Amino acid sequence: MLRRNLILAVAAIVALAGFGAAPLRAQNSSAQGSQPAPARSPASAPNPAAKFLQTEVPAYHAEPPKGALPETLDPAQFLDAQTKNIYTLAAKVKPVLYQEPCYCGCDKEVGHKSLLDCFTDLHGAHCILCKKEAAFTYSETQQGKTAAEIRKEIIDGKWKDVDLSKYDAPIPSH
């Protein structure tokens, strides 16, 4: 009886192993029956991260404003010099900020329609990306660049190089 049970157990293990290997043989046999797949070069290989690297441009207005723009918040209400300075600069370039995207995601998160919206509420006070983009926009307008030229540079990510520590001390009045 023990011998019979041992033979049945071995047969069951062999049968289960055979069923488990059958799908592997089937997959391999179909590949053997046809031409081998060409090797993909690294450049043509699909990149699962590619969809995350291609970000869409956030909301902005392509044209200058037609009417009056909303006011940015009063810089005097902020305690830290950097936030005061950035809100001061933002107030000086409202029509340009209106035409710029903001890459912090506020268009999807809080419904902002352009970079200007970040400074008509408290959002810009707490967001480093918004501050960098606003300081970049101001700096570029001082060099005579148009809103469209600045927008291209923002989309290209040039705002990421802004050193916000330059705005930690009070900006002298002009």
Per-residue model confidence as pLDDT tens for the chain (174 residues): 666 665 655 565 655 555 444 443 433 333 344 344 434 444 444 555 444 455 688 888 888 889 999 999 999 999 999 999 999 999 999 999 999 999 888 888 899 999 999 999 999 999 999 999 999 999 999 999 999 999 999 999 999 999 999 999 987 765
The dihedral over CA atoms of 60, 65, 69, 74, expressed in degrees to the nearest 10, equals 60
DSSP state of 171: P
Kindly tell me the burial class for residue 138, based on how many C-beta atoms sit within 10 Å of its own C-beta (0-12, 13-18, 19 or more): buried
Q: Which amino acid is at 122?
A: L
Q: CB atoms < 10 A from the CB of 27, how many?
A: 10
